[in-house]
Chain A
Amino acid sequence: MKNNIQFNRFYKVFNFISLALVIISVLLIFFKGLNFGVDFKGGTLIELRVNDKQTNISSLRSAFNSMNLGDVAIKNFGNENDYLIKFEKKDKDKNLIQNIKKDLTKKIGPVYEFRRVENVGPKVSAELLNKGLIAIAVALGAMLFYIWIRFEWQFSIGAIIALFHDVIITIGIFSLFSIEINLSIVAAVLTIVGYSMNDTVVIFDRVRENLKKHISIKIFELTNISINETLSRTIITSVTTLLALLSIFIFGGEILKGFSLAMILGVIFGTYSSIYIANPTLVYLNVSYRTVVKEENN
């Protein structure tokens, strides 16, 4: 049972859709912006568990609003007893957390527990953001370098465009739904970079093999053959990876939600882009038998 799906008939359509998605994502990132967490924006985050039924989100909101902490964001986190509280307080108060606990006990009684406190100063958050961006840039550069020594330049361009496509759309979706960007999202983006590249390279490997095997077949047809030949692997690997990620997303707890969501999106777009971004690029760049052989003779 050999696969024979005409992927190449839809190259143009999907390229157009991808282009539109990338443009929309870039616009979202620039105009709507990203919802940076305390890691990158600085400020304080408190994860709070409440042990009585009377306290709800509005009583918490009024309690925190009276503490003069500036803009306080409160939302449910996981189950209904857990809350996530975030604020940016500019002035330095050494006893901030202690004072909050004191005030909160006065307002709602000692019916709560601080499960997690994160407090990041403005200088540190700026550094973390900077470091995160450097990490992503270095990862992209390293992938570019790897593919450049491993394949011909036409392949490198295809893989890199696919890579940017995946990363930009994933971040765009985070912007659209205002999902928090924190350190673990940077880790997810880097892993996406690895996965997307991995998926593309496996198909490219086959394209290159086929270029030597079927000299007379045009690249347009050849990419389709290669995609089909590697299709079961593409599907099985993305299914097992997605199963693992879905398991993290559903059962892994609130802290890993953003991370696993980013990875799930990355795997989906990474798989799609290997077929519909990376391969069409080879067609547009007129890759042929000679591209591969010339390189090897040098």
Chain B
Amino acid sequence: MLKFSKINILVTLVLSILVIFFSISNITKFDDNFFKKKINLGLDLQGGSYLLLKIDNEPVVIKELQNKAVSLKNFFKENNIQIFNININENKEIIFSTNEKNIEMVESFLNDKDGSINIYFDQFKSFQYEVENEKENFKLKLSKYGLIKIKTSSLDQAIEIVRRRVDEVGTNEPNILKRGNDRILVELPGLDDPMRIKNLLGKTANLTFRFITKSNDETFGSEQLEFEDGSEIANVSKRIIVSGENLVDAQPRMDNQTNETVVTFDFDRVGAKRFGRATTKGVGKRLAIVLDGKVISAPVIQEAIVAGSGQISGDFTFQTATDLALLLRSGALPAPLEIIEERTVGPGLGEDSIKSGLLALLIGFVLVIAFMLFKYKVFGIIANTTLILNLFFLIGILTIFEATLTLPGIAGIILTVGMAVDANVLIFERIKEEIRNEKNKIIAFDTGYVKSRSAILDANITTLIAALILFFLGSGPIKGFAVTLGTGIFTTLFTVYFIARLLTSLYVIKNKNKESLI
């Protein structure tokens, strides 16, 4: 029967006031605690930049193989086992040979679960390296989990460095997230030209100090490196004196004597010691400052530098010096990053999108309300009241959860307005049918509600399924659509069964003797 308990009515009333309150808190400007919660605007509405970065792990893997080769050499030397021809094959495996009598020894060392040379991961039941051998020729390949370990740790490192660099630039509320095992998502609200950040993230910032040598007689070997400005190609030793890891600070400065912009830096204790030793021995030599495989500058060492600080000059503008200092401060990325997806929306477009979205919402809303009024008269008023409250519930809930509203999300709200009346229409049409056969109006209304229920549920569940799939498989703005569409289904069902039903029953009980009720 069309009866409601007092508690039921009270709860509905309180909830309605609550959501209206939260909806309104979106447009209030005060900074007090009650109105604090607001719907977040997506990047497409407030403007901003979305960058998806992919980390190129190959250099990390190669470095790991190189390090492993060195530790293998040392390890077997300590254990008095001769190995020879240790080498890295095609950048993916370590090969070496041993004497026939040592084969078993080498095997047992490499397959020792408690050993340190080939680490065993208990949780994956796998070694770091897979070991194969054909008689005395051994082959070590990173296992699946060994590779995953390396990738995760390089991703973790990279994300930390990315965060530092982005923070140093000082954009508001950046969002930096892991995506899969080799990607980083960077969201920068309010940034309409991500050029600087893109430049900063595109650099590995691997800084080394190395001597320039004349010949190839270096024990470590040397390589030909180009200068940043393309002015010369130098023969640079592969021996690293100090690297960026040993820097504690770097700042852009104006050199008073030369009037040049430079980057000054300070070494930590270890770095200062090494740098001091090398410059003491190398007076008169040229010291190359190498960044990401290019020589920035190569000054001649005039005297030993033991104070643990120095400066880099190299034709900087103040901006490039600032950026270099920032890169040096934040540290080197373990591997290069590549931007594989970029989406940037300027603030102008974002504002326009909000305006047009709200206009469409308003007009859609008015059209639907006018149509329902025209079609159902008094019951149109009931349906429209429900619809308005539905909108408040939808916006209020989005506010409470501080959900992110996107342009497709606004479209989802408008679509909810269009489809929400469906439930009331199903009920009203059913009631009309029931009234034809049933004299008692109250019974007819009750039956109308009961008999339309399964159709209403079906209709909403099908839409909910679509919204759920979009939520789990969609990305960015589309997710916003799924959120509003899905939430809209729940608010629709709630308002129809609690508010519209209450209003209809109040009306019907009062006017049960009227000839044409609906």
A284→B187 CA distance, assembly (Å): 54
- Contact flags (1/0) for A121-164 with B, using CB distance below 8 Å? 10110001001001100110011001000100000000000000
CB-defined contacts of A190 to chain B, threshold 8 Å:
466, 469-470
Q: Taking the complex as formed, is A242 at the interface, i.e. its CB lies under 8 A from any CB of chain B?
A: yes
| Contact A237 B356, beta carbon cutoff 8 Å | no
CB-defined contacts of A201 to chain B, threshold 8 Å:
455, 458-459, 462
Q: Chain B interface mostly helix, strand, loop or mixed?
A: helix
Cβ-defined partner of B415 (8 Å) among A94, A117, A135, A245: A245
Q: Taking the complex as formed, is B299 at the interface, i.e. its CB lies under 8 A from any CB of chain A?
A: no
A42 CB to closest chain B CB, in angstroms?
9
Binds B, one of A24-32, A56-64, A246-254: A246-254
A193→B468 CA distance, assembly (Å): 13
B443 CB to closest chain A CB, in angstroms?
18
CB-defined contacts of A146 to chain B, threshold 8 Å:
461-462, 465
Binds B, one of A170-178, A255-263, A289-297: A255-263
A285→B465 CA distance, assembly (Å): 27
A244 CB to closest chain B CB, in angstroms?
3
A97→B421 CA distance, assembly (Å): 47
Given contacts A116-B349, A194-B463, A237-B419, contact A248 B414 (CB under 8 A): yes
Q: Taking the complex as formed, is A229 at the interface, i.e. its CB lies under 8 A from any CB of chain B?
A: yes
| Contact B363 A118, beta carbon cutoff 8 Å | no
| Contact A251 B363, beta carbon cutoff 8 Å | yes
| Contact B408 A253, beta carbon cutoff 8 Å | no
Q: Taking the complex as formed, is A47 at the interface, i.e. its CB lies under 8 A from any CB of chain B?
A: yes
| Contact A198 B463, beta carbon cutoff 8 Å | yes
- Contact flags (1/0) for A201-239 with B, using CB distance below 8 Å? 110011001000000000000000000011011001101
| Contact A252 B341, beta carbon cutoff 8 Å | no
A251→B426 CA distance, assembly (Å): 29
Q: Taking the complex as formed, is A92 at the interface, i.e. its CB lies under 8 A from any CB of chain B?
A: yes
Q: Taking the complex as formed, is B52 at the interface, i.e. its CB lies under 8 A from any CB of chain A?
A: yes
A282→B422 CA distance, assembly (Å): 25
In the complex, chain A residues 82-124 whose Cβ is within 8 Å of any chain B Cβ: 92, 94-95, 97-98, 113-121, 123-124
Binds A, one of B106-114, B133-141, B315-323, B366-374: B366-374
How many A-B pairs have beta carbons closer than 8 Å: the answer is 216
A204 CB to closest chain B CB, in angstroms?
8
Given contacts A195-B463, A233-B426, contact A244 B414 (CB under 8 A): yes
- Contact flags (1/0) for B389-428 with A, using CB distance below 8 Å? 0000000000000000001101100110111011001100
A123→B470 CA distance, assembly (Å): 21
Cβ-defined partner of A121 (8 Å) among B340, B357, B451, B473: B340
Q: Taking the complex as formed, is A49 at the interface, i.e. its CB lies under 8 A from any CB of chain B?
A: yes
Binding site for A on B (CB under 8 A): 44, 52, 54, 193, 195, 198-199, 202, 338-346, 348-349, 352-353, 356-357, 359-361, 363-364, 367-368, 371-372, 375, 407-408, 410-411, 414-415, 417-419, 421-422, 425-426, 429, 433, 451, 454-455, 458-467, 469-470, 473-475, 477-478, 481-482, 485
24 A-B pairs with C-beta separation under 8 A = A92-B338, A94-B339, A98-B195, A115-B349, A116-B346, A118-B343, A139-B465, A142-B465, A146-B461, A183-B477, A187-B470, A187-B478, A193-B466, A232-B429, A233-B425, A240-B372, A240-B425, A244-B414, A245-B414, A246-B367, A247-B360, A248-B360, A251-B359, A252-B356
Binding site for B on A (CB under 8 A): 47, 49, 92, 94-95, 97-98, 113-121, 123-124, 128, 131, 134-135, 138-139, 142-143, 146, 150, 183-184, 186-187, 190-191, 193-195, 197-199, 201-202, 205-206, 209, 229-230, 232-233, 236-237, 239-248, 250-253, 255-256, 259-260, 263
